[in-house]
Structure 1
Amino acid sequence: MVGTPEEFRSKRKGPTLLRGSQVDLSTTDQRLLDSRGPSDWVHTDPWRVLRIQAEFVEGFGALAELGPAVGCFGSARTKVDDPFYAKGVELGRGLVEAGFAVITGGGPGAMEAVNKGAAEADGVSVGLGIELPFEQGVNEYVNIGINFRYFFARKTMFVKYSQGFVVLPGGLGTFDEMFEAMTLAQTRKVTSFPVVLIGVDYWTGLLDWLRGTVLADGKISEADLDMLTLTDDVDEAVSIMEASR
């Protein structure tokens, strides 16, 4: 192979695939939210609104007839030999057998595991991808895939079409998705729905801090923590989703 690693970089920009010298290192979200630079945003932002509108139309059109679905979050860095990858596969399969579609971020790791379990059970396996500075794309087990430029459009699809969330161990992106779901329920922007955390050892420290520091200091209420169920049992997670119908 001839060339530098930089020349073989690739990324998705909405539905477009860029490679080599065509790859830029910023994202659509970054350019929208960056307040620095020239004032040409006055002329370009109205056109961005049309692109944003198109993402919502695309997402609504693809998922409108999805039926009951559960959003599943987790780390893209989870390895295939990680025990939580196996739990993700079990989770995807269990949700399909209970009559749900699954919705993930469509990436590798824990997301791939859930999509794999759902696809192998002949279920609907949805992946909502996002434009990143590096190529990720949707995993091979997604059978309905949508790639978004804007995080907020993607997040809307998760909340609108999921009736509950199951969260496998993850990092900042997983925390963001989990806490946003809780915030929307707490502020009654959405009808309250269950949030199940799988991985007792992984999540206990966070829950202890929420209870011992945040709740103790009056920053949240007991009812906020009641939205969360902590378990290692995939069957229990699926049963909680079934009970929420």
Structure 2
Amino acid sequence: MKIDVLSLFPEMFEGVLHSSIMKKAQEQQAASFKVTDFRDYSTNKHKKVDDYPYGGGAGMVLKPEPLFAAVEAVTKTSSSKPRVILMCPQGERFTQKKAEELAKEQHLVFICGHYEGYDERIREHLVTDEISLGDFVLTGGEVASMAIIDSVVRLLPDVLGNNQSAVHDSFSTGILEHPQYTRPATFNGLEVPPVLLSGNHAEIEKWREEQAFLRTAQRRPELLQEAPLTDHQKELYQQWIQKRD
């Protein structure tokens, strides 16, 4: 997968894209990253990329020319139609399902704004997706794009040491992940659940399924309205509702 990022602050990406799983993805040639300062595509002699909004108002608006030119430059050799993603609080809220969708693409382009907003022609005629991390505002799109890139790249084949790791992550199955324990079995008088030490894999899987469901019901009950529940989980749901009420 090829990933291009358009930002006025490319130095922000150095540590993130060259460490941990992102570094491994590049070493395995599962993904390549390039961060471009779209100020380089400004036609203004002062390299200005923003201007005052027509009609007045606070703040500055990113101009269309440098972003259109930057996207054209990074996509002109693309072998497939790239997804051009605008990081914006007005966009679709990012989910694991969206990460899985983007992980199937060959080329992603992220546009990171850093001012009051974008010229509307960028939204209407340049991008394919507008994405938001949630109902809050960040200084710019850089931090949000880093989070999305991380969540997408870790889904690429063989990037994680165990391909099942991503499959069982929270939200991948529609519900939160079950509790995890490791050695020692006893710590400060706190015990690991006996079933996990039993060696009975069927019982362990049953316990994990139940715990994952109960954790979701307690912490994020709204997820259960859309999750594809098994018959056993539906039974647990009814039991939980009765106990709660």
TM-score, length basis structure 2 = 0.26
TM-score, length basis structure 1 = 0.26
Pick the structure with greater CA Rg. Answer: 2
- Give the structure with the higher percent helix: 1
